[in-house]
Amino acid sequence: MQAIDTSTPIGFIGLGVMGSSMASRLQEAGYGLRVHTRTASKAASLLERGAMWSPGVAAVAAESRAIVTMLGFPEEVEAVYFGPGGVMESARPGSILIDMTTTRPALSRRIHAEARQRGLQALDAPVSGGDVGAREGKLSIMVGGDPEAFEAAQALFRVMGSRYVLQGGAGSGQRVKLCNQIAGFGSTLGTCEALSFAVRAGLDPVKVLESIGAGAASSWALTNLAPRVIRGDFAPGFFVRHFLKDIKLALEEGEAMGAFTPGLALAKELYASLERMGMGDKGTQALYLLLSGAGSPIAPAP
Amino acid sequence: MQAIDTSTPIGFIGLGVMGSSMASRLQEAGYGLRVHTRTASKAASLLERGAMWSPGVAAVAAESRAIVTMLGFPEEVEAVYFGPGGVMESARPGSILIDMTTTRPALSRRIHAEARQRGLQALDAPVSGGDVGAREGKLSIMVGGDPEAFEAAQALFRVMGSRYVLQGGAGSGQRVKLCNQIAGFGSTLGTCEALSFAVRAGLDPVKVLESIGAGAASSWALTNLAPRVIRGDFAPGFFVRHFLKDIKLALEEGEAMGAFTPGLALAKELYASLERMGMGDKGTQALYLLLSGAGSPIAPAP
């Protein structure tokens, strides 16, 4: 297919924290956008800068040649692609569908297969790097699909990410993203459990970080999440409920492959507990609160 | 007490991989060493460069004013300090005892109390940074004990480590080291589980690292251990059986404090399994072998 350039009409569906920053980057790079999102007010700043509002998914799909989706849960992806007035039935043949939501690998494969039937291309392209990475165009984009589609979409990935790797066929991007979440859980658990242990032992957690922050125990979580925990800041970089969704997807996928994933199984128990405790909208570092059993975040045990 | 300088006779007991490098650093910095270790041949290169061999612990203690120990297990520390002809009964009043073994915090407190009774000073000063850190004098030294003793010993710590922090009273150094191991386990688990998942999914683990190695999933373990796993290299940087010892110490300590440490509990199950499988002398990254269930390290599941 023809490579995408700034004359290609781009559709963007899903303008949450991540999606709106990613769409902004594309806009700043000169792309003309057709946008749609559930809560129309979230599109305001994009529209001010020239994006066109579409009244629904069908209109975005019909008017674009590359359609990017950045949604929350697999159910939403399913509705947007396969529902009535969805992307599949509305996209024009020759278009490319790029789902950047973290979702079920099997759903990515289904999108890919259905797209092919209809003369469309599809990529799964979930990201890591958080809100900051999205704003700065420094996401890591993990791509699954056909090499030609990847080639065609590179121009867009270049604007949104500082690295983008074709990992394999449809669903591979999703599976790599799940690997990312598995590794991330381990470090987050280690960080929160070490802090909880330190505080209960009556140690000064700031001094503890001074000693352990740069060696074999070091991680992004220890560097970035531990100071937030110590400050009592449990605001979301990444939501507990989204992390729990990813953990469940990884568990489901692991089970289907016959993988032994005791860390994931523990992750599910712990993050499901956090959600039941009403902490679904806190950041993943709220795991500390569960481990320490503390109402007040960092007070040493008596 | 008087600060230590190169005219102070230093005793060094325990010349394993870590101890021999640490003693070498002291020797290169101009300190005169009296050394003793279970396997005399391990002292050879230190003796060639002028260290004096002592026939036993008692002789090292009697002839030194600062006595450094770097042993394996708490039982050895107990024997060397409290056994017949041990450090306690042989050290001259005014001496300082520095145990750099990772051991039981309660044992460090016992050494400290007994030392005080005898007019000695004692510090617990376990390290992280591995064999490379020991060779290069770049260890992180986590110290527990009295501030005056810490002051006096700083000259030695400066030679062996790039950071040394007084964490609190006797046993605090040990507790911080246990925090280090707790955080380290989390990242190691996340790394090995993500790799095992990736391989079972038929992904290329090198490409997976390319995508996930620099973001929120990143850790020392992912950067340093994952490439070894991919190469099939399970040689020890840090031994499974030593890690298991530390995990058990942390669990024991956590239980006594009433801490909730589900990660540690899992760590014990996994590393105890590895040891039972005969992998005690492999490196901690051998966890991958248990998770993947693979005899051959990196071959994708059929």
Report the amino acid identity of residue B244.
Answer: L
A6-24 pLDDT, tens digit each: 999 999 999 998 999 999 9
**Looking at the DSSP assignment, which residues form a beta bridge with residue B219?**
A219
Distance in angstroms (rounded) separating the CA atoms of residues B300 and A156: 32
- For range A177-199, the mean pLDDT: 98
**Residue reference for tokens 């006595």:** B67
Run of H or E including B9: none
The residue-averaged pLDDT of A120-138 equals: 95
Question: What are the domain boundaries of chain B?
Answer: 10-169, 176-292
Q: Is A258 exposed, middle or buried (0-12, 13-18, 19+ CB in 10 A)?
A: exposed
Q: For chain A, what is the radius of gyration of the CA atoms?
A: 21
CB A147 within 8 A of CB A124: no
3-state secondary structure of B73: coil
d(CA A122, CA A110): 10
Q: Which residues of A touch B184 (CB under 8 A)?
A: 190, 216-217
For chain B, what percent of residues have pLDDT higher than 90? 93
Query: Mean pLDDT for chain B?
Result: 95
User: Residues A257-283: pLDDT tens digits?
Assistant: 999 999 999 999 999 999 999 999 999
- B168 Rama class: left (phi>0) / alpha (psi -120 to 50) / beta: left
- R_g over Cα of chain B: 20
pLDDT surpassing 90 at residue B231: yes
Cβ-contact A263, A189 below 8 angstroms:
yes
pTM: 0.94
Quick check: B209 pLDDT over 70? yes
Inter-chain residue contact A263 with B190, CB threshold 8 Å? yes
Averaged over A149-162, what is the pLDDT?
97
pLDDT reading at B262 higher than 80: yes
Q: What is the pLDDT of residues B29-71, one digit of tens each?
A: 999 999 999 999 999 999 999 999 999 999 999 999 999 999 9
* pLDDT for B116 beyond 60: yes
Closest approach of A297 to chain B, Cα-based (Å) = 15
Q: What is the ipTM of this complex?
A: 0.94
Sign, CA dihedral B259-B260-B263-B265, equals positive
Q: B38: alpha, beta or left, given left = phi > 0 and alpha = psi -120 to 50?
A: alpha
d(CA A75, CA A236): 23
Question: How many other C-beta atoms lie within 10 A of the C-beta of residue A302?
Answer: 3
Residue of B nearest to A289 (CA): B260
Secondary-structure class of domain A10-169 per CATH: alpha beta
The DSSP call for residue B41 is: G
Note the pLDDT of residue B1: 63
| Yes or no, beta carbons of B266 and A261 under 8 Å apart | no
Confidence of residue A127 (pLDDT cuts 50, 70, 90): very high
3-state secondary structure (DSSP) of residue A102: coil
Q: How far is B209 from chain A (nearest CA, A)?
A: 9
CATH number of B176-292: 1.10.1040.10
Is the pLDDT at A256 greater than 90? The verdict is yes
Whether residue A217 and residue B220 make contact (CB cut-off 8 A), yes or no, is yes
Per-residue pLDDT tens over the stretch A53-107: 999 999 999 999 999 999 999 999 999 999 999 999 999 999 999 999 999 999 9
Mean pLDDT confidence for A227-244: 96
Q: Name which of B211, B239, B251, B289 to mutate to probe chain A: the one with the most chain A Cβ atoms within 10 A of its Cβ.
A: B211
Scored b (16 or more CB within 10 A) or e, A162-195 reads: bbbbbbbbbbbbbbbbbbbbbbbbbbbbbbbbbb
Strands (E), chain A: 10-13, 33-36, 52-53, 66-69, 96-99, 121-124, 127-128, 139-144, 161-168
Q: What are the tokens at A242?
A: 């989204």
Q: Are B168 and B142 in contact (CB under 8 A)?
A: no
Residue B300 confidence (pLDDT) above 80: no
Chain B nearest CA to A127, separation (Å): 9
Structure tokens at B64: 């030194």
Between CA B190 and CA B202 the distance in angstroms is: 18
Interchain contact, A187 vs B186, CB within 8 Å:
yes
**Contact criterion met (CB < 8 Å) for B198 and A176:** yes
Burial of B84 (0-12, 13-18, 19+ CB in 10 A): exposed
Whether the CB-CB separation of A301 and A200 falls below 8 Å is answered with yes
The size of the A-B interface in CB pairs under 8 A is 270
